[in-house]
Structure 1
Amino acid sequence: MGKVKGIKLLLVDDEPHILQFLELGLVNEGYEVRTSTDGMSAVMIAEDFQPHLVILDIMMPGMDGFEVCRMLKHNNAQIAIIMLTAKDEVGDRIKGLTLGADDYMIKPFSFDELLARIGARIRNQFPFLLGEVVYGPFRTDDRRKEITYAGTVLELSPTEYELLRFMVMNHGIVLSKPAILDKVWGYDFQGEENIVEVYIRSLREKLKDKEHQLIRTIRGSGYRMDFS
């Protein structure tokens, strides 16, 4: 996601260096953040802080993440929970999801992937919080279905809007044609993959990206949106 405001996150992990790293990064993204190193205090903080989303480690001394997840969902069914674990155990994922977790990440993970997953959860469960979001030179507005680039509102078709929005939100990540088709056109799209090239060409023209410095073609892999 880009810079956001008014979205509250609670981070729960018994490893202080992980908490500090995540807190610094998420505060820099504009989130309001609280932290906890144990399950019981996490439940108490959540009761007072009322976070929209909780990033919750499973393996903690005393009350583990599963019990914290159960209690948080019992107290507030709308809260979004992303669970963290140091090992890829199918049983853990099933147990967490059964208790109400909304997503699952395995340590170590990239911060960019965590941001993308937080964004997905917020869009799905609290879309009214987003409104305008800033990503570098881009400003997206889901309510108006508009994207502004370098201060200018782009004239986009509905499909161009969805494609550019998807690429901007995932800037720095290589997106394959199948991934783009699935997200923008839908999993049941029966057309040719080349439709992506047609729309990419149109976006480059509207962005005046003649040198392909903004939307880069990664040969054999797909496309990557680059901006600072």
Structure 2
Amino acid sequence: MTLASAYRIRSSDFLSFHSKTDESQLKAFEMSRISAGYSLLLAGATHHLFCSESSLIVSAVNFWKQAGEYLLTIAGSSVWNLLGLPISELSTVVKYKCSECSLMDIFGAKSILNQAERTNFGNISSDFLACVRSASPKFWRFLIHGCDYLETFKDPFDFRWLAHPHCVEEDVDFIKEDSNCEHHAEWYINARTHIYKVGMHSLVFGVILAHICYGQNSHLTTHVLNHVENFVY
């Protein structure tokens, strides 16, 4: 958590004390994405523990909220146009329907909290985790590129490596420097779309956990719910 916050603060400070050239924006973006990487790993680790220890629900709420906010900040950054993806593509990023789980459909019907009460929470949690786990390989290596520590984790949601710490697979989908420009643009669009997807899922799941923990009308529940709506509408 400290490292995630530190990188985010460094990113903000870097832009404050440097002229907003392409180079400085890219450097700040690099710090922001590494911050998001730490946040997502922390959320994944906390969720892994929360599945066995329900008393960690407060931590899970905060870490999923933080991960969602950081990922959505990355997805909405204007720096993507410097990476070969026009900022106008954001409209195609935010207008998506998830085909792997019903989390966004429930939220789209504006009945997420009632639905969460009527539906088995275990099913919601399992579907959510399966969905973000399938999406994370599309951007994880990009998110953590350049951070030696994070690069030792091939998946922020798969903790089977604990039993085999030296078994690390390379991500063959990570874009290489000698790739052609067309592949660059296609890869970045795909990565950005999945960053947005996991960010939205993280925030919506945080809403469900906050509702369970604090109630529908609590300050934190309302805050997270409003944050989700700001990105959707």
TM-score range, shorter chain: under 0.3
Scaled by the length of structure 1, what TM-score is found? 0.27
Between Structure 1 and Structure 2, which shows a larger proportion of strand residues? 1
Higher relative contact order (CA 8 A, sep 6+): 2
Max Rg structure: 1
Scaled by the length of structure 2, what TM-score is found? 0.27
